[in-house]
Amino acid sequence: MVKALIIDDEISGRKVLKELLSLKHPEITLLPGVSDVSAAVEAIDKERPDLIFLDIKLGKSSGFEVLRKTSFKDYHVIFVSAHSEFALQAIKASALDYLLKPVNIQELSIAIDRFKTRQSNSNQKQMLQKMVHLMEQEQEADKKITLLTKSGYERIAIRNILYLLADHNYTRVFLNDDTEKLVTRTLGSFEGELEPDRFLRIHKSQMVNLDEISVYIPGNGGMVKMSNGTRLEVSRRRKKELLQLLNVQTGTETV
């Protein structure tokens, strides 16, 4: 017996899917449907379903929150979406299934057949984790920071920042389009705002985007070569932390 849960914020969506499953797949036992993230997490952790049908958009929330928050992870997911472009890249990359609304009965059957094939797949938890990670990366890519420059308040995508250099009470922010912004704030003020797993202050006057480091050059503290070719000095006391974040073992100091 397969135990399944439908998670959709629209009553009509839950009703249609329930009717299709009852008609073509009576071997699937449906739990009472739920419409929001908190109810979904509670139902999954309590009922431990084999399969969930998850709407990508749950009101103002994302269905991906459900996957992050459940304690029980040993379930399979078939995503449901009214938008063909919405988050499907991450789903495809994770080898998970999705259905477009209105749900087509043939596509539903194909997804169910794939689920049955994968039901014994011990890698399901890793597949879900990969998908969540990809979605988090996409969300990170959209984050922006507001900088006060001579032109006014500018919104800059954090992913576009290569490195930052202290300039007395100002900071020079270098971007990946070869432009530079002079910002009226100190370098230290950025430490609490930029993600510590992405940015590191490698020197009292320098902070770098770790994703933009192309080469680490060994030395007393060493140097980093950024993706635009700029070389920046690393202080001795920051060297160990930098190498750890770059997953470089001491004695093999290359990136």
pLDDT digits (tens, 9 = 90+) for 209-255: 998 999 999 999 999 999 999 999 999 999 999 998 887 755 545 45
pLDDT digits (tens, 9 = 90+) for 81-91: 876 555 565 56
252 within some domain: no
pLDDT of res. 137: 64
Above pLDDT 90, what percent of the chain? 59
pLDDT of res. 202: 96
Question: CATH code at 96?
Answer: 3.40.50.2300
Is-contact 26 75, C-beta < 8 A? no
Q: Is 125 in the same domain as 167?
A: no
Residue 214: closest CA among 230, 225, 228 = 225
Q: Is 97 in the same domain as 167?
A: no
DSSP code, position 190: G
Q: Is 190 in the same domain as 239?
A: yes
pLDDT digits (tens, 9 = 90+) for 91-125: 655 556 888 888 999 999 999 998 888 876 656 66
Please give the tally of structural domains in the chain. 2
Mark which of 140, 171, 206 sits at the end of a domain.
Answer: 140
Q: Is 54 in the same domain as 132?
A: yes
Distances 16 to 37, 93, 104, 239, 244 between C-alpha atoms, Å: 20, 28, 10, 58, 51
Q: Is 54 in the same domain as 180?
A: no
39 within some domain: yes
Distances 186 to 100, 174, 190, 191, 201 between C-alpha atoms, Å: 49, 15, 7, 10, 13
Q: Domain limits at 9?
A: 2-140
Q: Is 17 in the same domain as 61?
A: yes
234 within some domain: yes
For the whole model, what pTM was predicted?
0.55
